[in-house]
């Protein structure tokens, strides 16, 4: 099975950036081990300012860290990695996820694998996967605010006692009017997030598609829809609808004339071990094959 078609490698490893789970002061031992493992290869480790406060060390701004580093280490969980990818989007830096806690869908390096994996980096025993991102344009008159999403964009009703209506258009033609609790627009990577809870399909993360999944639709005939990535999808609603991006940013639909979602120009680059197998992760996280 061909896991990925990408053969990209890091051009150099001289400086590495580090971001950690916010407000977690228990990651000091991880930080020290990463630092020592990199110093073995004369590599400098620089820490983002807020993370440095939790680690009791000196830090630099997130922007300076991105500019100086060859890649970024995200230490925490999937949420920390998603935030790091979104914030570093314009710098086009690969991100390595080291998890502190339970195995996630994105972070695959365990605490007892830190030294071994860093050794493997310098032996070119790793791969870089490119994950599709969404570009969201929040349009108000001539003003357009653009944001990227890693997992999904959720249009959710703000008032639990009412049904929201969200209209979706492609090239000016309405493709559906979603009435119910809301709608999820998901990347393939995000298919294992809110999308799967709402009955959406599981999609291999390196696929190139868009997924539209209704949330508790008013009509039982409403079903998830898979679209090609060259579609720009426009959404409009006159109801009290919240726009939630990756569970991290929130906006109100009424503040904008419309919202346009399409594939972003650049992908997120995730550094993984060669042994990482997406289907093994699915079996572990979803208990597939268990008795």
Among candidates 99, 126, 107, 104, which has minimal Cα distance to 34?
A: 99
DSSP states of 60-89 as a string? B-HHHHHHH-SEEEEEE-HHHHHHHHHHTG
User: Which residue carries 């400098």 as its tokens?
Assistant: 44
Whole-number Å distance between alpha carbons of 186 and 174: 19
Helix (H, G, I), strand (E, B) or coil at 27: coil
Task: Using CB atoms within 10 Å of the CB of residue 42, give its burial: 0 to 12 exposed, 13 to 18 middle, 19+ buried.
Answer: exposed
CB atoms closer than 10 angstroms to residue 134: 24
Active-site choice (24, 78, 108, 246): 78
User: Which residue carries 């493997």 as its tokens?
Assistant: 120
User: In DSSP terms, which residues pair with 17 in a beta bridge?
Assistant: 46, 72
Specify whether the CB–CB gap between 229 and 203 falls below 8 A.
no
CB atoms closer than 10 angstroms to residue 174: 11
> Two tokens at 284?
């572990």
Q: Is 78 a catalytic residue?
A: yes
Contacts of 166 (CB under 8 A, 6+ apart): 155, 177, 178, 182, 183, 235, 236, 237, 239, 241
Specify whether the CB–CB gap between 49 and 59 falls below 8 A.
yes
Q: Compute the residue count for the chain.
A: 291
From its phi and psi, is residue 105 left (phi > 0), alpha (psi between -120 and 50) or beta? alpha
- The residues assigned a catalytic role are 78
């Amino acid at each position: 099975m061909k896991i990925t078609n990408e053969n990209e490698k890091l051009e150099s490893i001289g400086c590495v950036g580090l971001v950690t789970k916010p407000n977690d002061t228990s990651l000091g031992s991880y930080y020290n081990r990463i630092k020592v493992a990199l110093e073995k290869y004369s590599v400098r480790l620089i820490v983002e300012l807020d993370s440095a406060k939790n680690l009791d060390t000196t830090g630099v701004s997130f922007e300076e860290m991105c500019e100086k580093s060859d890649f970024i280490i995200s230490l925490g969980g999937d949420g920390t990695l998603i935030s790091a990818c979104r914030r570093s989007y314009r710098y086009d830096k690969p991100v390595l996820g080291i998890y502190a806690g339970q195995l996630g869908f994105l972070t695959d390096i365990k605490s007892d694998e830190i030294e071994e994996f860093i050794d493997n980096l310098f032996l070119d025993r790793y791969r870089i996967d490119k994950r599709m991102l969404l570009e969201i344009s929040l349009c108000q008159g001539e003003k357009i605010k653009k944001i990227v999403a890693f997992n999904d964009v959720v249009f959710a009703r703000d008032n639990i006692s009412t049904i929201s209506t969200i209209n979706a258009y492609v090239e000016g033609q309405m493709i559906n009017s979603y009435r119910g609790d809301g709608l999820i627009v998901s990347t393939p990577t995000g298919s294992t997030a809110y999308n799967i809870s709402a009955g959406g399909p599981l999609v291999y993360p390196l696929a190139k598609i868009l997924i539209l999944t209704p949330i508790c639709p008013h009509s039982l005939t409403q079903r998830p829809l898979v679209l090609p990535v060259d579609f720009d999808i426009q959404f409009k609603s006159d109801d009290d609808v919240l726009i939630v991006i990756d569970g991290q940013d929130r906006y109100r639909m009424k503040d904008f004339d419309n919202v346009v979602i399409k594939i972003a120009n650049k992908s997120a680059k995730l550094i993984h071990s060669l042994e990482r197998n997406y289907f093994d992760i699915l079996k572990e996280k979803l208990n597939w094959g268990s008795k």
